[in-house]
Amino acid sequence: MQTEPHSPTNPTPERRDIIDALQAVGVAPQRLLELDHGRALALWQNRRGEVRYERPRHHALSIYTREGDKASRMVNGRAVSKGFPGAVCLFPAGSQSTWRIGGEFEFFHLYFNDLDLARCAEQTWDCEPDLVQLAELYHANDPVLAQAGQLLALSDWQAPGQAMAMDHLAQWLLLQIVSRHATVQKVAPEVTGQLSRRYRRLLQERIEVELAQPLTLAEMAGWVNLSPYHFARLFRATFGCAPYQYVQEQRLTRARDLLRQPNSKITAVALTCGFNDPSQFSRAFRKRFGIAPSAYRAETKK
């Protein structure tokens, strides 16, 4: 199983009822990524058997990414629906469902909770969170979410800077879940314009100061009193790239400057610039500048 290193943005994994139910029948996640505020992404493969989700205390979105026709939902011993590649299921907290697996297939899960729904409703639509109720959904056809599942399955979850990108994607998935499959059936508001000059300068200065720290979308949005949804779109309109891409560029640029200093140590530079894993830092640096950090440092000393 692939997991991200534990940090404030990748905390120690929580106990989740659906994960426990799958592991109880001998299934282990192929990948597991802990995100901000208790959310998590997981990629699973199952082959045969029966699994029951018995009133989980959290919500879960499921997207079949490969060979989904091997899974059937069972009621009183009878198959009532059959999966397909791209099928979408939504398990609200407290729901019950039984599944029979007739062969190998692959699926992706997003785990989230009531607080995530409340934030999404309040920040995006200024809606009372108590009015948001998730619908149970089994083997639905939702091309937008199905495409997101394929993107997640193909992505390298451990690539440098990917945790922040995945957090950004999780925010988007929550918006799709609430707008398409909950009682709040509203189109997300259009975001126009750019961040003010004052907010732009504040973000540039604050990111520069906080580069060594884990930075989440929600945290940066809070600096300018915006929801993550609005912040991400205004940030892209203002800076021409997503927040995680901007942060990654600033980290690598600072690292390049630090490597020019005499006696600079690559591990120390990586930590100073917000990279907890020196090998990930080296890969990111090489991809951005076309040269390994050690080789770049050696060139600057000539």
Mean pLDDT of the chain: 84
Written as six digits, the tokens of 86 are: 């791209």
What is the mean predicted confidence (pLDDT) over 170-197? 76
pLDDT recorded at residue 176: 86
For each of the domains in the chain, give its residue range(s) and CATH number, in order of start: 2-181 (2.60.120.10), 192-302 (1.10.10.60)
With bands split at pLDDT 50, 70 and 90, how would you rate the model's confidence at 166? confident
Going by C-beta distance under 8 Å and a sequence separation of 6 or more, which residues neighbour residue 73? 79, 80, 81, 82, 97, 98, 99, 138, 139
pLDDT recorded at residue 10: 46
What is the mean predicted confidence (pLDDT) over 135-155? 88
DSSP state of 274: T
Angle separating helix axes 243-259 and 293-300, nearest 10 degrees: 40
Lowest mean pLDDT segment, chosen from 44-53, 113-122, 142-151, 250-259: 113-122
How far apart are the C-alpha atoms of 283 and 287, rounded to whole Å? 6
How far apart are the C-alpha atoms of 238 and 32, rounded to whole Å? 33
pLDDT recorded at residue 177: 87
Location of structure tokens 């140590």? 265
CA-to-CA separations, 225 to 164, 216, 246, in angstroms, rounded? 19, 14, 19
For residues 231 and 243, the answer to whether their CB atoms sit within 8 Å is yes
CA-to-CA separations, 23 to 17, 88, 138, 174, 217, in angstroms, rounded? 10, 21, 21, 25, 31
Strands (DSSP E) found in 55-197: 59-66, 71-75, 78-82, 87-91, 96-112, 137-141
Question: Among candidates 65, 77, 158, 60, which has minimal Cα distance to 113?
Answer: 60
pLDDT recorded at residue 5: 42
Written as six digits, the tokens of 65 are: 């990414």
pLDDT recorded at residue 172: 85
What is the mean predicted confidence (pLDDT) over 18-44? 88
For residues 20 and 28, the answer to whether their CB atoms sit within 8 Å is no
Question: Among candidates 174, 148, 147, 165, which has minimal Cα distance to 229?
Answer: 174
Handedness of CA 228, 230, 234, 236 (dihedral sign): positive
* pLDDT tens digits, one per residue of 3-14: 444 444 444 557
How far apart are the C-alpha atoms of 27 and 109, rounded to whole Å? 14
CA 190 distance to own-chain centroid = 23
* pLDDT tens digits, one per residue of 215-266: 888 889 889 888 887 888 889 899 998 888 899 999 999 999 999 888 888 8
Backbone φ/ψ region at 41: left (φ over 0), alpha (ψ -120 to 50), beta: beta
Question: Among candidates 93, 105, 94, 123, which has minimal Cα distance to 43?
Answer: 105
Lowest mean pLDDT segment, chosen from 68-82, 163-177, 178-192: 178-192
pLDDT recorded at residue 125: 63
* pLDDT tens digits, one per residue of 86-132: 999 999 999 999 999 988 899 999 999 888 887 777 766 655 556 67
